[in-house]
Structure 1
Amino acid sequence: MLIRIEASDLPGRQCGQAPGFPGYSNIHVGVQRRGRPDELLQLYPGDAPSAVWELAAKATRNGAGWDLLGPYVQGGPGGRFVYLSWGTVDEAGAFTMFRRAKLWFDGIPASVLEAAVEHGGLVARLSLTDSRGQPLCAAVRPPLVEWSALPSS
């Protein structure tokens, strides 16, 4: 099964200081691999017009519902999520994380997850800028993310 994350409204490559936020330059975002925080899938600069990640996942029956597993899926049963890691990239290309967003699966409606398993894919659509104009972080659940199944082919 495919998990497709479609992100828009990135906050920019520079984010100035604000209360509780020290400010950063050359900001990028990527999906963090489970158990390997330094391994990121496809970094996008913070001023990109959009970002799209496609993650391989396996759906297994878990009681009456579904559990999603994969190399980029974090957490245990009943608490699965994907990390979107924000960081700076220096002149040598090294990424240094400064915050993460947790894209929680517990907000996926059961009917959407059923359809996603049936059609082979799940789509998350979200803005990556928070209400203060900074990189989105912390827990991300509806209404901050919209979940849908890939259309049948």
Structure 2
Amino acid sequence: MQIRIDAFDLPGRTCGASPDFPGYTNIHVAVQRKDRRDELLDPQPGDGATAAWTLDCTATPGPQGIDLKGPYIQGRPGGRFIYLSWGTVDEAGTFTLFRRAKLMLDAIDSATVDAATRSGLLLGRLRLTDAKGHPLCAAVRPPLIEWSARPR
């Protein structure tokens, strides 16, 4: 099975400072590998029209429903999630994390996960700019993300 994350409305490559945000330049976003904060899947510039990632995973029936596991899925059964990591990229190409969005897989309704297990693809669509115009962060659940099953 695969999980595809389709993102739109990115905040920009530069976000200025505000009272609760220090401001950053050359912003990028990527999916963080499980338990490896510095290993990122396909960093995308913050000023892109869209960003997308496709993750391989396994879907195993468990006591709390279908358990999704894979190299980019974090957390324990019943509390699994995917990190979207926001960072700056310097002239040497070094990514420096400054915030993360936590896409909560336990918030997906069971019918959608069941259908995705049969179809082969779980699609998550979300806007990556928050209400203040900054990179989206914190726990992300519907309605901030829309999950659906699609043919692979």
Superposition deviation, residue 35 in structure 1: 1.1
Q: Distance in 1 between matches of 2:107 and 2:145?
A: 9
Equivalent residue number for residue 68 of structure 2: 68
Q: Distance in 2 between matches of 1:64 and 1:31?
A: 25
Compute the TM-score of the two structures, normalised by the length of structure 2.
Answer: 0.98
- Structural RMSD (CA): 0.9
Give the counterpart letter for 1:134 in structure 2.
Answer: H
Give the counterpart letter for 2:147 in structure 1.
Answer: W
Q: Distance in 2 between matches of 1:64 and 1:18?
A: 42
Runs of 4+ in 1 over 4 A off after TM superposition: none
Q: Is residue 141 of structure 1 aligned with residue 136 of structure 2?
A: no
Superposition deviation, residue 64 in structure 1: 5.8
Q: Distance in 2 between matches of 1:77 and 1:109?
A: 15
Equivalent residue number for residue 36 of structure 1: 36
Equivalent residue number for residue 100 of structure 1: 100
* Alignment map for 1:73-152 (pairs within 5 Å): 73-151=73-151
Q: What is the DSSP-based 3-state SS (H/G/I as helix, E as strand, rest coil) of the residue aligned with 1:111? A: helix
Q: What is the total number of aligned residue pairs between the two structures?
A: 152
Q: Distance in 1 between matches of 2:75 and 2:20?
A: 27
* Change beyond 3 A, Cα 1:93–1:64: closer
Q: Distance in 1 between matches of 2:64 and 2:98?
A: 38
8 Å contact 2:64–2:78 — kept in the other structure? no
Compute the TM-score of the two structures, normalised by the length of structure 1.
Answer: 0.97
